[in-house]
Structure 1
Amino acid sequence: MDDWAKIRQLFSTGEYSKREIGRLVGVSRGTVERALETDRLPKYQRPAVGSSFDAFAPQVRALLAVTPSMPASTLAERVGWPGSASVFREKVAGVRPEYVPPDPADRLVHEPGRQVQCDLWFPHEPLPLGHGQEGMPPVLVMTSTFSGFFQALMLPSRKTPDLLGGMWSLLQAAQAVPKRLLWDNETGIGRGKLTEPTAAFAGTLGTAIKLLKALDPESKGMVERRNRFFRSSFMPGRGFASPQDFNEQMAAWLPIANARHSRSRRASPIDLIAQDRAAMRPLSPVVPDVLFRNTVRLPRDYYVRVHSNDYSVAPALIGRLVDVTADLERIHVAHNGVTVTSHDRAWARQLTVTDPDHVVQAAVLRRQFQTLRRHQRPQAHVAFVETASLSSYDDVFGVDTGRGLTDLSLIA
């Protein structure tokens, strides 16, 4: 290869003939002529030979024509391939594009303040939920596509009120609302169509919530990479006493993670977030409705159910309608607009959460009720029942008993 370059360099000077160049380089004149015939570096190419795959290629093509996505392992089984699995996969990979249309991924350009990608991540190790239970609650992750700045918050569940409450909490922390929130087809947000509470949430904030089409993971690949980053950088070596402890550790770690330099952006997310949020909308003056709501008539056992758990209510309201609301942290019960009971929300499931004061109140009301029943009970008295003459029944039914005979022996 060095000879080819030297030959062309000497010939370009015009000072040497081909014979002289051959003498100087130490090659024949024919080699000099062949080197001057091409302007590309010559390279050795082995002549093409047949492959053992060629005998199976027609069968493979016939199967791919019907089922383009058939796995290579299945194809090898169907055609009876006896050779190396890796060789067969490589050969099939060269043939398959002729039967499967390409799926191009566009290079996206992200403008400041335009879009935040949202997703749920689940820790790979369970953590304590209280009351002897463990679980892996969902973690809401929101990543700005322009700056790469991301937020995260563990939620009690993936139901609609909790998802909306989580988004509202993170948007409040950011003090800004992007033009669009991007979601995969999460059931609590919508599948093909937004749920009514989600649509109302978007309308109140003046933003759009876009649901991705199926089989389009690249459109939110940024937040997907964040999920892998949590698994590799946040979780190792950590222990958690509760979901609240998880959120506290996450809040302390996020500023460190957002300060990492991004080579693609040539800056760290924390350096770009100010420009990003400057292009977003301000928070709506109207607070969106993100609460769980239910109205029930309080039963005799004075408990209401919220997300699989039962919470006690002041027993004086038994039989009356009460309004139950729940956010990410508290359960509230109100009557006629006045809050009468509040509880910390439990993360464990199938619990009965009781306020001891409610048990005391119930005991007092029970004694009052029993005393009142005793005072209202009627006094015992003797009932006088008139005894009817049996002869009157004989007169009614026309029975002649011979009452006119004084000698009873005559009856016989």
Structure 2
Amino acid sequence: MIRVEDWAEIRRLHRSEGLSARAVARELGISRGTVLRALTSDRPPKYRRASKGSAVDAVEPAVRELLKQTPAMPVTVIAERIGWERGLTVLRERVRELRPAYLPVDPVSRTVYSPGELAQCDLWFPAVDIPLGYGQTGRPPVLVMVSGHSRMITARMLPTRTTADLIDGHWRLLTGWQAVPKTLVWDNEPGVGRGRPTPEFAALAGLLATRIHFCRPRDPEAKGLVERANGYLETSFLPGRLFTGPGDFNAQLTGWLQVANRRRHRTIDARPVDRWETDRAAMLTLPPVAPPNWWPQSTRLGRDHYIRVDTCDYSVHPRAIGHRIIIRTDTESIIVTCGDDVVARHARCWARHQTLTDPEHATAAQALRGQAIRQRASRARAAAGTTLAPDDLGIEVEQRELGTYDRIFTLIEGGAGKEDTR
């Protein structure tokens, strides 16, 4: 093999100086065949060590036969079938080279979305700490939805990724669209379902008259629209922004999306807002009943007169103690009713393990406790046939110093003074 410098000189003499192959060979003192090979090669010579073969060569026919029968057979099973006793590294490399020839062909396709056909959904977790109140910060999930035909993006931050909050988030985003896509595409999010929707999401699909399609595991290309939207939010919306809380985050996000949806989308060569009316016209109409009202929680209020939602406790007016109450929860508020009477109304707390007390509830509870104490004391005195003591009636009584009683009983100097015996 000639050196790279000789290869370059051969080509220079032939092309620049116009020498023939024979003249070049005579000039450099090498064979004419070497000159001809250098002239026909457009790559510099590179030393390659002669292959000594591999231990896998002897078992390759058996490996091919196994892959022909079962293309997805694991390497460990192949090693067991062929009686392989060496290390798995070289066998794994050879199987990796051979397997594609036996796998079924992955069809090439270009996805085209019809108007109103579907919307892809996903959760985005912003890499920024959001103040949640009570000195806590967190990174709540953001529900992102992208319509396939127009590429219209809508999104909203939610308190949690539980089923109830996801359903409320869907309803608020679709209410903003005033339309429902015929299919909602999800991956296997636990709050939505794994392979099949949860009973609550199945009910939501029935209410919306839509279909929930679950992607196959480890198939991110199946919802590439929303994955790219998540990256767009990460790189174009989030940098340089400060947020005072979830409400401020949603307000800034809503304002930014109004601008983002007016930018030209490279794939469709159009602005989402320009294709939105056609897209929305082909969607389903929004039903008049809000789905969160389908699943109110019913319980009997105990003497504690607090209810727990997620990890936080919320006060209820004590007049509902012992009665059955209805709790309606969404991402913004907690409303508790007893019959037709609203006995609690709180803003949803995004912090964890907090107790929220309405001052009116606390005052009513204190008054009821005092009334109950006096009633019990009155019943006890009546049963014993005695009159009520001032303390039982809630009347303040003067409390004397202990030395006063010592002087009354002449235990100390001064005896019992006139003013001390009053």
Global fold match (TM > 0.5): yes
Question: Displacement, 1:341?
Answer: 1.1
Please tell me whether the aligned partners of residues 68 and 100 of structure 1 are also in contact (alpha carbons under 8 angstroms).
no
How is 1:113-132 mapped onto 2 (pairs within 5 angstroms)? 113-132=116-135
Please tell me whether the aligned partners of residues 292 and 329 of structure 2 are also in contact (alpha carbons under 8 angstroms).
no
Question: Displacement, 1:307?
Answer: 1.1
How has the CA–CA distance of structure 1 residues 240 and 381 changed in structure 2, closer, same or farther, with 3 Å as cutoff? Answer: closer
Please tell me whether the aligned partners of residues 160 and 188 of structure 1 are also in contact (alpha carbons under 8 angstroms).
yes
Please tell me whether the aligned partners of residues 156 and 162 of structure 1 are also in contact (alpha carbons under 8 angstroms).
yes
Cα distance in structure 2, aligned partners of 1:79 and 1:120? 38
Cα distance in structure 1, aligned partners of 2:229 and 2:268? 16
- Paired position in structure 2 for 1:293: 296
RMSD (Å), alpha carbons: 3.3
Unaligned runs of 5+ in 2: 1-17, 21-39, 68-72, 78-85, 387-422
How has the CA–CA distance of structure 1 residues 53 and 272 changed in structure 2, closer, same or farther, with 3 Å as cutoff? Answer: farther
Question: Displacement, 1:380?
Answer: 3.6
Please tell me whether the aligned partners of residues 291 and 326 of structure 1 are also in contact (alpha carbons under 8 angstroms).
no
SS at match of 1:367: helix
How has the CA–CA distance of structure 1 residues 111 and 69 changed in structure 2, closer, same or farther, with 3 Å as cutoff? Answer: farther
- Paired position in structure 2 for 1:225: 228
- Paired position in structure 2 for 1:188: 191
- Paired position in structure 2 for 1:55: 54
Question: Displacement, 1:252?
Answer: 1.1
1:228 maps to amino acid: G
Please tell me whether the aligned partners of residues 117 and 283 of structure 2 are also in contact (alpha carbons under 8 angstroms).
yes
1:55 maps to amino acid: S
Please tell me whether the aligned partners of residues 143 and 155 of structure 2 are also in contact (alpha carbons under 8 angstroms).
yes
2:241 counterpart of 1:238:
yes
Number of residues of Structure 1 aligned to a counterpart in Structure 2: 332
How has the CA–CA distance of structure 1 residues 128 and 27 changed in structure 2, closer, same or farther, with 3 Å as cutoff? Answer: same
How has the CA–CA distance of structure 1 residues 350 and 261 changed in structure 2, closer, same or farther, with 3 Å as cutoff? Answer: same
2:225 maps to amino acid: M
Please tell me whether the aligned partners of residues 129 and 347 of structure 1 are also in contact (alpha carbons under 8 angstroms).
yes
1:271 maps to amino acid: D
Please tell me whether the aligned partners of residues 334 and 348 of structure 2 are also in contact (alpha carbons under 8 angstroms).
yes
Larger Rg: 1
Please tell me whether the aligned partners of residues 130 and 138 of structure 2 are also in contact (alpha carbons under 8 angstroms).
yes
Question: Displacement, 1:170?
Answer: 0.8
2:206 to 197, 203, 206: 203
Please tell me whether the aligned partners of residues 69 and 100 of structure 1 are also in contact (alpha carbons under 8 angstroms).
no
Question: Displacement, 1:214?
Answer: 2.0
Question: Displacement, 1:213?
Answer: 2.4
2:340 to 322, 337, 340: 337
| TM-score for both structures, normalised by structure 2 | 0.71
| Fraction of identical pairs, as percent | 43
* Residues 189-226 of structure 1, C-alpha deviations (whole Å, 9 max, x = no match): 11122111211111111211122222322111110111
Cα distance in structure 2, aligned partners of 1:68 and 1:197? 42
- Paired position in structure 1 for 2:74: 67
How has the CA–CA distance of structure 1 residues 360 and 51 changed in structure 2, closer, same or farther, with 3 Å as cutoff? Answer: farther
2:286 counterpart of 1:283:
yes
How has the CA–CA distance of structure 1 residues 114 and 80 changed in structure 2, closer, same or farther, with 3 Å as cutoff? Answer: closer
Unaligned runs of 5+ in 1: 1-25, 29-41, 71-75, 82-87, 383-412
Cα distance in structure 2, aligned partners of 1:259 and 1:68? 51
2:271 counterpart of 1:268:
yes
